[in-house]
A and B are shown apart, each in its own frame.
Chain A
Amino acid sequence: MSGGTSNFQSNSRVVNWIEHRLPVFSFLDSQLHQYPTPKNLNYFWNFGSLAGIVLVIMIVSGITLAMSYTPHTDLAFDSVERIMRDVNSGWLIRYIHMNGASIFFIVVYIHIFRGLYYGSYKAPREILWMIGIFILLAMMATAFMGYVLPWGQMSFWGATVITNLFSAIPLVGDWIVQLLWGGFVVGNPTLNRFFSLHYLLPFVIVGLVFLHLWALHMHHSNNPTGVEIKDEKKDTIPFHPYYTIKDMYGLGLMLIFFAFFIFFAPNYFGHPDNYIMADPLVTPPHIVPEWYFLPFYAILRAFTSDYWVYQIVSLGGWLMSAKLAGVIAMFASILVLLLLPWLDRSRVRSAKYRPLYRFFFWVFAIDCVILGWVGGLPPEGVLVTIGQWSTFWYFFHIIIIVPVVGILERPKPLPDSIAASVTSAPQAAE
C-alpha cells in the first residue's frame, strides 16, 4: 500500500531483525499510525471501520456456531435449537450472529449513502467504489445462504423463491436451477453446498476489504468538503491517535445499539415462521425476505406484464417475460451503481456545495425507503402502483437525473482547502 510515509524506527533488536526481513512494522506504522487523514471527517466516516469490525464479529460468531451446527435437512433445525438451549452460551452466539447480519447491513448502507452524498465514488476513487459494490454483492450472497442454514420455513421457501429466479433465464434457466439445487427441489444437497459457500464467502469478503483499503490508501479518504488534500501538514492529522480514538468511540455506541437487540429484542429483525421446521409441502401464506433485501424484492415484483416500464423495455412484451425483466432489473439495480462514477458529470464531489443534487439525493434516499416498505407488504392494490413508480424513480435517478443535474447545476464556491474550510469561522472573527 502506498500513500503513507513512514519514518519508523525502533530500538528493539527483535523488531529490527524482523523488519529487515518482512517490513511489517513500518507497514503498519505508515498505514495505521502516521497515515495522513483529512482533519475534518465527520461521524459518517466511522462506518467503514465499523463495517470491518462487524465482519470480524460475524466470522468469530459464525465459526463458533459451526462447531455445533449440522448441515443436514433432518438435523439442521434441531441442531440450531440445541445451540439455543443446550450449548453453553449458544443462545448468545446465535443471537450475535443473527442480529449481526442486520447490523452489518445497517452499517454498510449508511456507509454507501455517505459515499453517495459526499461524492466519494468520483475520480480517483472509482475502483475503490466498485470494490465496495462487489463487497455488497458478496455480503448479500452470504446472508442469503446463511438464512437458509437454520432450515426453518422461511429458510426453505426463501431459498426456493430466490433460486427459482434463475429459471427465468432463457434456454439454460432450468438447468442452472437444477445445478444450484443438486436435485429437483431445494433439499439436502442444496443445504450442504450453501453451508460450504456460507463458510467460504466471508473470507472472500475479507480479501475484497483488503483491496478496498489498498485503493483507499492510494488517494486517502474523501472528506465532507470533497476537496482533495493539498498540503499534508495543514489538511491532515495522523490516523493514530486521532481517528483510532474516534473510531473506538463510535464502536462503543454501535455495540450498545447492537447489544440492545441481542438482549432485549433478539427476534425483532427475524420472522416467526423461521422457528417452524422447513416443510416442503406447505408454503407459508406470506413469504418475505430479510429486511435488507426488501428494496430489491420490491423492484423484482414491480415487473408485472402490465407495468409500463416493462412494456417499454421488452418492446411490448416481445423481448422477454415480465419474470425475466424483474430478475434483470433486480440485479441491475445494484450493478448500475458500478457506473455511477461515470454517470455523474459534476466535478464537485460533496453535496454540500451542490444544492440541486442534494435535493435529489434526499428524494432518492426516501425512494429507497419506500421501496423497502413496499417490498415487505403483499403486492395488492395501490401498493403495486407505489412499488412500480418507486422502481421507475430508482433507475430514473441514477441514469437520468444524476448526469443531467451534473451538467446543469451551478455548484456553490468551494473552500480553497480542507484547512481553509475548518478555519473559516474563526477567520470571520479575526
Chain B
Amino acid sequence: MSETASGSAEIDEQTRRDFLIWSTVAVGAVGTALAVWPFIDQMNPAADTLALASTEVDISQIEVGQSITVIWRGKPVFIRHRTPEEIKEAEAVDLADLPDPQTDDARVQKPEWLIMVGVCTHLGCIPLGQKSGDPKGDFGGWFCPCHGSHYDTSGRIRKGPAPNNLPVPGYEFTSDSTVLIG
C-alpha cells in the first residue's frame, strides 16, 4: 500500500497525499482548539459575577480628613475626603519624582474626593492608612505592610516595590452626596 505513495515516479500522488495529511492535521488542530476553549473560558468571571459590577455610595457623612472603605467587585475602594493640606501636597509634587508619573488632577474629579481601589499594585495586599491610627508611610498617604510600599496623598506610588499608582476606578457623582462606582 505504501509502495505507490513512496514510489519516486509518482510525485503527483505524493503531493496530493501530503496535502490531505496537512489539511487533516490543520482542521483537527483548529477543531481541538475550538473544543478546548470553553473549558478554559469557564474559568473567566461568570455572568453573575460581572453583573455585580457597580456600587452606589452615600458620601454625605464623611468628614474632612476622614476615609471610608467600600466594596466594589469584591475589592476595597478607598474614598477619602481630603484636607486642603493634603490636596496642596499632592498637587505640589514634581512629576519627575514619581515612578508612575501622573498629576493629582488626572486622578480626581473633585479635588476634595480621592476615590481609588485600595489594592496594592505590587501583590495585592491592602495598604494601611484608612483609620486615623494607621501608619501612613513616608508620604502621608498609605503604607502597604506586605513588602513596604509607600503611597502619597494622591495614592501615587513613591517608594517600595509596587510599580504603579493605586488605580482610580470609573465613577460618577450622581448627586452632591452620592457616588456611583463602576
Contacts and interface: CB of A to CB of B under 8 A. Distances in A.
Contacts of A163: 124
A157 B69 CA distance: 18
B15 to A, nearest CB: 38
Given A160-B125, A287-B146, A301-B147, A184 B43 contact: no
Q: How large is the interface on B (under 10, 10 to 19, 20 to 34, 35 or more residues)?
A: 20 to 34
Contact of B44 (A178, A285, A286, A301): A178
Contacts of B45: 178, 181-184, 189
Contacts of B124: 160-161, 163-164
A385 interface: no
A232 B45 CA distance: 60
Contact of B43 (A179, A285, A321): A179
A72 interface: no
B126 A281 contact: yes
Nearest to A159: B124
A323 B125 contact: no
Contact of A185 (B46, B73, B144): B73
Contact of B123 (A160, A178, A185): A160
A323 B40 contact: no
Given A301-B147, A323-B161, A182 B125 contact: no
Nearest to B162: A323
Interface string B120-159: 0011111000000000000000001111100000000000
A215 to B, nearest CB: 29
Contact of A323 (B43, B75, B126, B163): B163
Nearest to A193: B43
Interface in A162-203: 163-165, 178-185, 187, 189, 193
A304 interface: yes
A281 B69 CA distance: 9
A182 B44 contact: yes
A183 B69 contact: no
A286 B74 contact: no
Interface residues of A, number: 32
Given A183-B74, A184-B73, A321 B163 contact: yes
Contacts of A68: none
Judged by DSSP, the binding face of B is loop
Contacts of B46: 182, 189
A165 B147 CA distance: 13
Contacts of A286: 145
Given A283-B145, A287-B125, A287-B146, A185 B44 contact: no
A304 B94 CA distance: 24
A182 B74 contact: no
Contact of A184 (B40, B69, B75, B125): B75
Contacts of A189: 43, 45-46, 49
B127 to A, nearest CB: 8
Given A161-B123, A178-B44, A187 B74 contact: yes
A374 interface: no
Interface string B60-82: 00000000010101111000000
A183 B51 CA distance: 11
A286 B128 CA distance: 13
Interface in B78-124: 122-124
A379 B148 contact: yes
Contacts of A429: none
A179 B37 CA distance: 13
A90 B121 CA distance: 40
B161 A304 contact: yes
Contacts of B126: 281-283
Contacts of A181: 45
20 contacts: A157-B125, A161-B124, A161-B146, A179-B43, A180-B43, A181-B45, A182-B46, A183-B45, A183-B49, A184-B73, A189-B43, A280-B71, A283-B125, A283-B144, A283-B146, A285-B145, A287-B125, A287-B146, A323-B161, A323-B163
Interface of A: 157, 160-161, 163-165, 178-185, 187, 189, 193, 280-283, 285-287, 301, 304-305, 321-323, 379-380
The 4 closest A-B pairs by CB, nearest first: A184-B73, A185-B74, A164-B124, A164-B123
